[in-house]
Amino acid sequence: MTKIIDFQTNPSKYRHWRVEYDGPVANLFMDVDENGGLFEGYELKLNSYDLGVDIELNDIVQRMRFEHPEVKVVVMQSGKDKVFCAGANIRMLGGAAHSHKVNFCKFTNETRNAFEAAEAESGQNYIAAVKGACAGGGYELALACNHIMLTDDSTSAVGLPEVPLLAVLPGTGGLTRVTDKRKVRRDLADIFCSIEEGVKGKRAKDWRLVDEVIPNSKFDETVQERAKELAATSSKADGATGIAFGKLSRKIQDNAVTYDLVEVEIDRAGRRAIITLKGPEEDAPADMEAFHAQGDQAYLLKLCRELEDAILHLRLNEMEAGLWIFKTAGDPEKFLAHEAVVAESEHWLANEVRQYWKRTLKRIDVTSRSLSAFVENGSCFAGVLAEILFAVDRTYMMEGEFEGDNRPVATITLSKASFGPYPMGNGLTRLETRFLGEPEKVDSAMNHVGEALEAEEANDLGLVTMILDDIDWEDEVRIFMEERASFSPDAMTGMEANLRFAGPETMETRIFGRLTAWQNWIFNRPNAVGKDGALQRYGTGVRGDYNMERV
């Protein structure tokens, strides 16, 4: 049986990271256990990482926001001598399936995006304190921090050696952050990405690759001084009390994954997964103080955590489930009451819940699966859940009453959630992206906030792809599902990634676009992954045997 990759972890299980909290400053140490690889066949030497290392980092980033709101500055540093991080483990990449490599890169991108945005979203500023070799994915960890400090000695350097050593790209946004974020001059970036040894000291600062270069004798002291300075200038409020993240209630069966609020039904023969989100049964808390008292069991937070885990589980453990169908079930008005508590509050926890939903919805946007939503009778696509309708590729909605179905007629209820708080990676809302050529339709939709829109109204507003009555529903959705599952998954991945991100290009869309297109392609090429390719020959002293034809 294939090993199930579990994205749930907690500090008591960490093997690769540790955190020391000092009031507003958290010192985050990367200290990878060489023998702690997710799979057999490689050792995680020199602080190199695999997916398991990043699963822990993702957990830390999330907990830092919810469990430690007092933290204003996070110092990312190495727990080992003479090496910051050697990047993704090459033996792991060389032996991994193509699908695992690409999904690994996608998850690490999402993790880096999360702590990169932590300053703007949560007032948590990340500093990279680089001592020793900082190469490939190690430098990409630093690039995602807000500030990079490099020690000035004979061994410490930053580098992106993937092209000369491995015949692949820096897969976690390295090239994009060098040009778009660090704004490194093109010719200097060309040199930087073509050399194996990296760039040290003053040159690294002159080339804009780091922000500060500090003498080795003063480095540790200066890093802590800088962290305290940044914490002192932070506008983040003091005195917040965090909430603990407990283990999610989850049961994995042969053809299903069930949580308290999310159910996933897996049809392997049909190559699809049906994800159903349940509306709340209890009344909404009176205010954010009551929400805070509920902790990680507060409905809106719990639903988001379960949905995120389901998305990650399906991505890595159900590779052939190429079609995901989202459904909901529950009372839309009750859901909106829960949402209103969070949406209308300036409480720190309300902000974190909103930001968590934003990150989770973005995971849907960039998932390489065909995505659809079925708005059935009894559904509760309301508020932030309606965002799922605009994240998917197609939406089908039941029209009118169905024979033998006593559930309430299908409706969609928009809230302010669709008009600003949850933008896509392109900086636009999903409705702005949907109606890029018809911006007046966004205004029309806004005029119906709070209304329970039945099928004909939703269709007139352009909120759904197709409305179907009792006669046509079953046949039409069956044909759609069978057709979608029959197409080439490669063509689908390319088509969907191209269609989903209309509008302006941003650093985030460029990162995921390059991953989906260029890195996906390169990871299939024999120059990188063939038996004589660079990934297979790495460490042997023999360079890859390349087909030199340009394509």
Q: For 44-86, how does the pLDDT look when each residue is reduced to its tens digit (9 = 90+)?
A: 999 999 999 999 999 999 999 999 999 999 999 999 999 999 9
Q: Where is average pLDDT lowest: 202-211, 248-257, 525-534?
A: 525-534
Share of the chain above pLDDT 90, in %: 93
Enclosing H/E stretch for 115 = helix 98-116
The pLDDT tens digits for 106-165 are: 999 999 999 999 999 999 999 999 999 999 999 999 999 999 999 999 999 999 999 999
Tokens (6 digits) for 176: 């994009």
Over residues 390-417, the mean pLDDT reads 97
Specify the higher pLDDT residue, 395 or 537. Answer: 395
Q: Which alpha helices (H) appear in 406-506, and where do they start and end?
A: 430-434, 440-446, 455-460, 473-486, 489-500
- Cα dist from 334 to 271, 281, 340, 458, 482, whole Å: 34, 8, 10, 20, 35
Portions of the chain given CATH number 3.90.226.10: 11-233, 251-493
Supply the pLDDT for residue 514: 87
DSSP state letters, 356-375? HHHHHHHHHHT-SSEEEEEE
pLDDT greater than 70 at residue 490? yes
pLDDT band at 539 (very low <50, low <70, confident <90, very high): confident
Supply the pLDDT for residue 1: 41
The pLDDT tens digits for 155-196 are: 999 999 999 999 998 887 999 999 999 999 999 999 999 999
Over residues 320-336, the mean pLDDT reads 97
At the topology level, CATH places domain 251-493 in: 2-enoyl-CoA Hydratase; Chain A, domain 1 (3.90.226)
Supply the pLDDT for residue 421: 97
The pLDDT tens digits for 191-247 are: 999 999 999 999 999 999 999 999 999 999 999 999 999 999 998 999 999 999 999
What does CATH list as the number for 11-233? Answer: 3.90.226.10
Over residues 316-343, the mean pLDDT reads 97
Please tell me the distance from the alpha carbon of residue 127 to that of residue 190, in angstroms, as a whole number. Answer: 26
Please tell me the distance from the alpha carbon of residue 356 to that of residue 64, in angstroms, as a whole number. Answer: 12
Count of C-beta atoms within a 10 Å radius of residue 507: 15
Supply the pLDDT for residue 53: 98
The pLDDT tens digits for 443-463 are: 999 999 999 999 999 999 999
| Mean pLDDT of the chain, nearest integer | 96
Please tell me the distance from the alpha carbon of residue 426 to that of residue 498, in angstroms, as a whole number. Answer: 13
Return phi, psi of residue 337, to 5°.
-65, -40
Q: Which alpha helices (H) appear in 281-331, and where do they start and end?
A: 288-294, 299-317
Over residues 395-409, the mean pLDDT reads 96
CB 141 within 8 A of CB 112: yes
Over residues 415-430, the mean pLDDT reads 97
Supply the pLDDT for residue 550: 87
Q: Count Cα neighbours of 191 within 13 Å in the Cβ-side half-sphere.
A: 10
Dihedral sign for Cα atoms in the order 433, 437, 438, 440: positive
pTM of the model: 0.96
CB 445 within 8 A of CB 463: yes
Supply the pLDDT for residue 517: 87
Supply the pLDDT for residue 476: 97
Supply the pLDDT for residue 518: 86
